[in-house]
A and B are shown apart, each in its own frame.
Chain A
């Protein structure tokens, strides 16, 4: 039996690495006494497969993973028990049984959606600015210590909205190439001439889109 789960990563848990996060999930599964399958070999590990690895510091309400079980469970009961065993900052948002023959999540990943919030320094016409930003021939962004790339092809959607002196950006990036929102927001800030207070930038991963279905979590 395979369980497909969507978990959150927020509060204190947002400051841990993906490896620590996955270990915390393993421990919670053990506390919840969910009969997880182990890998063969010298160092048996629980059979979990995550769709993606989140960078340290980012909040998420869409951490999708598959958990392979060695015995069947009642999903509602598993959800309740796991929910009671997870540490602060991790909640079960979705949990359901999937057929055994589905391809792994990573190969199904089509797109990731994010929500970025940042305080405004200036108030230009943000709608127009974003339009121009997207219409560039190339959208060059600088990734920390990994050089400049053009994200034109992988930036599927970007919209902005202003509320209480803050710009809220809804962004969808392609699942094929990992594009993180921060460098894009930085480029957008640059493009408009430092109109955003980047120190206040908060990014949240809000959903993942998989081929054949749309799983947005929440």
Chain B
């Protein structure tokens, strides 16, 4: 039976078969005989998650715009489909031409989340590709990876032939060019790839240890760079953008058109990795955005367009842009949406404009419960400002409010956690006072657990133990219960694993492989998390996870991601850390003077 029939025979027996059909509007199908490089763009999660990822749509466009390159999509089959594929000998396949992944030239993974690492291993195995780079031979395809996680690539280093660090729009074109021109042995290909700025070929570096301590990487080939500089587009204006994105048949996580206003964010929240790795800020011009919005709607037929960025209200001409778009869209049934709003009245004003009819839930992220702790994390909003923003939302007619917080932040005490409850109480009072109590306030407090991330001022901090996080969750629940506030929390085991792998070194690769062999995959899905597999994997390999998650590092410790140059200097991060401990804030360089984080003057940006 040919593969396509084999796949179709399985589809009536799985949940959501629309994940596996391909053939969606705007998908690009090229005949294999018409191209010279076949690129499988893989996302290590289900279709609905992967298709919601803007970066993949961008790369899909960039690659398919090259006439002799075919880029096809690959997602992790959900467990029911995976079981059937294994039973029937169906290998991992691409959606566009239903080609077995191992027949491609290059397989590229997007690593967005540490808890998807086991899915990468699972997909490699389903594709019939040797797991480790060292086991791959001349006839195997090239396995590459990019995305925010590769700012600390080490835990995945043994499985990936080459990482692309930073923004991949340009680097991936160079990578394909090198591949196309290469003839000869695999090693020569890897050597040439290592010559591309932003490309890290881990097999050319050996990791050194002294007992438990990590000492750094040693180059085994003097031609490769000691440090790998992240790739950054100099300008976003004019950069390729998918104005004809694939429109899925089935409902996905973010089922709407996405307009990227700008990239980067310099607010400087000290827990936030996106705030450093995407620096500096680069904007698109208003005229281009209006034009892109028009094309997006006419090419997709979506009824919603999301103005996306790390903090959309920071776009300098946001009001003007929204007015322009609303005017154009009036009567077409197309709405605007603004994700990731700041906690201020200006944001409420903006939201009021787009949500003329639908008064659902307003979302704010104060992140911490007290003014002091908010200064520590450089989220400089005060208690009063938060209440003012809430009042504005209530007066504008919102009856639902969702507040995001984090627990386990550096220097946090029980007082800060009580502060979350205190804030919730005040918000409720504010609702009563606003004289708008048509119904009653639906208040939802969502609390995640702090995970220290590489390339942030908190990269040296210890994460709270799982027991401590659990205690804090219970403590908060006790305070919130009498208030009638809905509380949702995150699984502490997930946050623990995330912390281990976010700051891990190469030794953790064995843990990943073992845990996967013991049955771990789709770890990010609460009902799939198999913590026992992880516990056994740590035991089996003799690796102590707390060494990575709950241990504070000192200033001089060599960090496993020190060879990755994100442009922001380590000295700046350390200085920010000290300011955090002193509860001092740092202003946003976008609206004030440069804070000398290093990125604008670094070679990363100025070349």
Decide yes or no whether A211 CB sits under 8 A from chain B. no
Are A15 and B298 interface neighbours, CB within 8 A?
A: no
Interface positions, chain B 1-46, Cβ under 8 Å from A, are 11-12, 17-18, 20-25
Taking CB atoms, residues of chain B closer than 8 Å to A44 are 333, 357
Partner of B301 from A20, A29, A56, A57 at Cβ < 8 Å: A29
Decide yes or no whether B361 CB sits under 8 A from chain A. no
Residue of A nearest to B247 (CB): A27
Taking CB atoms, residues of chain A closer than 8 Å to B302 are 27, 30
Residue among B11, B12, B249, B300 with max Cβ neighbours from chain A (10 Å): B249
Decide yes or no: A27 and B301 within 8 Å by CB, A87-B25, A88-B23 being known contacts: yes
Taking CB atoms, residues of chain B closer than 8 Å to A31 are 298-301
Bits for A17-41, please: 1 = Cβ < 8 Å to B, else 0: 1011001101111110100101000
Identify whether the interface residues of B are mostly helix, strand, loop, or mixed: loop
Decide yes or no whether A16 CB sits under 8 A from chain B. yes
Taking CB atoms, residues of chain B closer than 8 Å to A28 are 301
Are B21 and A15 interface neighbours, CB within 8 A?
A: yes
Residue of B nearest to A43 (CB): B358
Decide yes or no whether B332 CB sits under 8 A from chain A. yes
Residue of A nearest to B22 (CB): A12
Decide yes or no whether A218 CB sits under 8 A from chain B. no
Residue of A nearest to B20 (CB): A15
Complex Cα distance, B38 from A90, in Å, reads 29
Are A27 and B23 interface neighbours, CB within 8 A?
A: no
Complex Cα distance, B302 from A31, in Å, reads 9
Complex Cα distance, B250 from A57, in Å, reads 13
Taking CB atoms, residues of chain A closer than 8 Å to B250 are 16-17, 20
Interface positions, chain A 39-75, Cβ under 8 Å from B, are 42-44, 46, 56-57
Residue of B nearest to A23 (CB): B251
Interface positions, chain B 274-297, Cβ under 8 Å from A, are 297
Interface positions, chain B 299-329, Cβ under 8 Å from A, are 299-303
Taking CB atoms, residues of chain B closer than 8 Å to A17 are 18, 250
Complex Cα distance, B11 from A26, in Å, reads 25
Bits for A140-151, please: 1 = Cβ < 8 Å to B, else 0: 000000000000
B11 CB → nearest A CB, Å = 6
Residue among B247, B300, B334 with max Cβ neighbours from chain A (10 Å): B247
B302 CB → nearest A CB, Å = 7
B300 CB → nearest A CB, Å = 7
Taking CB atoms, residues of chain A closer than 8 Å to B303 are 26-27, 30
Taking CB atoms, residues of chain A closer than 8 Å to B301 are 26-31, 85
Number of interface residues of A (CB under 8 A): 29
Residue of A nearest to B14 (CB): A15
Partner of B17 from A23, A42, A43, A56 at Cβ < 8 Å: A56
Interface positions, chain A 2-18, Cβ under 8 Å from B, are 11-13, 15-17
Partner of B251 from A20, A30, A36, A56 at Cβ < 8 Å: A20
Interface positions, chain B 351-374, Cβ under 8 Å from A, are 357-358
B252 CB → nearest A CB, Å = 10
Complex Cα distance, B334 from A38, in Å, reads 11
Complex Cα distance, B17 from A20, in Å, reads 12
Residue among B21, B332, B334, B358 with max Cβ neighbours from chain A (10 Å): B21
Residue of B nearest to A37 (CB): B333
Are B333 and A46 interface neighbours, CB within 8 A?
A: yes
B29 CB → nearest A CB, Å = 10
Residue of A nearest to B334 (CB): A30
The bracket for how many chain B residues form the interface is: 20 to 34
B46 CB → nearest A CB, Å = 15
Are A12 and B24 interface neighbours, CB within 8 A?
A: yes
Decide yes or no whether A165 CB sits under 8 A from chain B. no
Decide yes or no whether A89 CB sits under 8 A from chain B. yes
Complex Cα distance, B75 from A44, in Å, reads 33
Taking CB atoms, residues of chain A closer than 8 Å to B251 are 19-20, 23
Are A16 and B249 interface neighbours, CB within 8 A?
A: yes
Partner of B24 from A30, A38, A46, A87 at Cβ < 8 Å: A87
Are B333 and A13 interface neighbours, CB within 8 A?
A: no
Are A27 and B333 interface neighbours, CB within 8 A?
A: no
Partner of A15 from B11, B247, B358 at Cβ < 8 Å: B11
Are B17 and A15 interface neighbours, CB within 8 A?
A: yes
Taking CB atoms, residues of chain A closer than 8 Å to B249 are 12-13, 15-16, 20, 24, 87
Are B357 and A15 interface neighbours, CB within 8 A?
A: no
Residue among B20, B25, B332 with max Cβ neighbours from chain A (10 Å): B25
Taking CB atoms, residues of chain B closer than 8 Å to A43 are 357-358
Complex Cα distance, B332 from A44, in Å, reads 10
A45 CB → nearest B CB, Å = 8
Complex Cα distance, B299 from A85, in Å, reads 9
Decide yes or no: A11 and B247 within 8 Å by CB, A56-B17, A57-B12 being known contacts: no
Residue of A nearest to B26 (CB): A87
Complex Cα distance, B23 from A13, in Å, reads 8
Are A12 and B358 interface neighbours, CB within 8 A?
A: no
Complex Cα distance, B303 from A15, in Å, reads 23
Complex Cα distance, B300 from A80, in Å, reads 18
Taking CB atoms, residues of chain A closer than 8 Å to B11 are 15, 57
Decide yes or no: A30 and B17 within 8 Å by CB, A24-B249, A87-B24 being known contacts: no
Taking CB atoms, residues of chain A closer than 8 Å to B333 are 30, 36, 38, 44, 46
Taking CB atoms, residues of chain B closer than 8 Å to A24 are 25, 247, 249
Are A12 and B21 interface neighbours, CB within 8 A?
A: yes
Complex Cα distance, B23 from A27, in Å, reads 16
Decide yes or no: A87 and B247 within 8 Å by CB, A12-B22, A12-B24, A30-B332 being known contacts: yes
Are B24 and A20 interface neighbours, CB within 8 A?
A: no
Partner of B357 from A12, A27, A42, A46 at Cβ < 8 Å: A42
Taking CB atoms, residues of chain A closer than 8 Å to B247 are 24, 27, 87
Complex Cα distance, B17 from A15, in Å, reads 6
Complex Cα distance, B300 from A85, in Å, reads 9
Residue of A nearest to B250 (CB): A20
List B residues at the A interface (Cβ < 8 Å). Answer: 11-12, 17-18, 20-25, 247, 249-251, 297-303, 332-334, 357-358
Q: List 13 A-B contacts (CB under 8 A).
A: A15-B17, A17-B250, A23-B251, A27-B247, A27-B301, A30-B297, A30-B301, A30-B334, A36-B333, A44-B357, A56-B17, A57-B11, A87-B23
Extra A-B contacts (5), CB below 8 Å, given A16-B18, A20-B249, A44-B357: A12-B21, A30-B302, A57-B12, A85-B301, A87-B23
8 smallest CB-CB distances across A and B, nearest first, come from: A27-B301, A12-B23, A12-B21, A30-B301, A15-B17, A31-B301, A87-B25, A88-B23
